Amino acid sequence: MTPRRCPRCNQSYPAPARYCVKDGSLLVEEAGQPAGARAAAAGAERRSPRERYPDLPDGGADTIPRTPAAPPAPDPLKTLSGQVLDRRYRVASRLGEGGMSYVYRAEEIESGRIVALKILLPRLSRDPASVERLRREATIAMRLDHPNVCPILRLGETPERLIYLVMPFLEGEPLSEHEARRGPFSAAEGVPLLIQMCHGLQHAHQLQIIHRDLKPENIMLVPLPAEKPGGPQEFRAVVMDFGLAKERRAGSELAKLTATGIVLGTPEFMSPEQIRGKPLDGRSDVYALGVLAFELFTGHLPFPGKSAQETMIARLRGQPLKLRELKPDFPPKVEAVIGRALAMDPGERYGSMTELAIAFEAAHSPGLLGRIFKR
């Protein structure tokens, strides 16, 4: 069967997959048509004009009725800039989009505060599961209160049934974009950021919230004021997007959203137990942060593969690459910390994000943690 790919991220999938697990896009076949459309088109081409148009008058194909293609309907979410949403927010520029939503910068009219609006796609507003997932994200993230996590301020719905989340606007860029522009980080640059992520995630874990979808796209780097003119730029790392987060003490209404054995998340960063659809605790996020750290310092994933499926299988069967084989000058003690975070057995990993943060501090620079959080 013809392989299929995501038109947005270009990830390849074997048939019969229909949707991209990273961003939810409808997969296309090699010819660029939606999955399954090619066979229908080929079948139509094999039929004669008379078979396709049984009422065709004599005169041949020249008399086949030709209906001009209707112009595509404008996407209402792409034309929000300059409008007022829900009589509360003056919408400015679009910041990004994903498989479920668009994100806009906006001004809260009453207070003048700049915020970010995450607006559910209209077609998903009619899907109870998608709406429930967004409401769940809001319910979970409204409880978060830490400098290294992004909370949700409110959940709203317009008279036109546009459902949206309001978040603080963070002046910065995703870690993924920062990496793509400047390349892998040194240990001195990356370890402080990882420690901050650990503390933000520990805050979530103490509230019984597991993120389940850690990846560079979900980490925002917010520039900090320089301590010395001309000194190196430092950042505050903020964990974003708790859309796949789940409370460990989930009630029956949450359990219905994630059927037993259904795998949610980004394949390249999943823990082995998440791939298997097993019950998760904070050590699954420890593993994902280990994958993120390996990629942060090397530009490569610790389990290579030609597809997301291959990397998932490698995590279940093999050992991760040695970081110092890719980067020989990397500090061996920091490599050892990442290696333990990537243990296949959760019992062999660090038991909490606090333990992981302390290990990073001890391996890299004693006293570093105190300097970071003294701000």
Cβ distance 192 to 221 under 8 Å? no
Q: Per residue of the chain (375 residues), give pLDDT as tens.
A: 567 777 667 777 666 565 555 555 556 765 444 444 433 333 433 455 455 445 555 554 455 455 555 555 455 566 788 999 999 999 999 988 877 788 999 999 999 999 999 998 888 888 888 888 778 778 888 889 999 999 889 999 898 888 899 999 999 999 999 999 989 999 999 999 999 999 999 999 999 889 988 999 999 999 998 777 777 789 999 999 876 565 544 443 333 333 333 344 577 888 999 888 888 999 999 999 999 999 999 999 998 877 777 877 888 887 889 999 999 999 999 999 999 999 999 999 999 999 999 999 999 875 544 444 433
pLDDT in the model for residue 24: 53
What fold does the segment set 80-168 form as a domain? Phosphorylase Kinase; domain 1 (3.30.200)
pLDDT in the model for residue 261: 33
Burial class (CB in 10 A: 0-12, 13-18, 19+), 160: exposed
Active site residue 285: no
| Separation between Cα atoms, residue 2 and residue 17, nearest integer Å | 11
Q: Which of 213, 241, 329, 345 is catalytic?
A: 213
Q: Tell me the pTM.
A: 0.71
| Start-end of CATH 1.10.510.10 domains in the chain | 173-372
What fold does the segment set 173-372 form as a domain? Transferase(Phosphotransferase); domain 1 (1.10.510)
Closest CA to 294 of 322, 318, 314: 322
Tokens of 308: 């997301």
Closest CA to 364 of 341, 331, 339, 340: 331
| Start-end of CATH 3.30.200.20 domains in the chain | 80-168
Tokens 């209209």: give the residue.
122
DSSP string, 157-203: E-TT--EEEEEE---SEEHHHHHHHH-SPPHHHHHHHHHHHHHHHHH
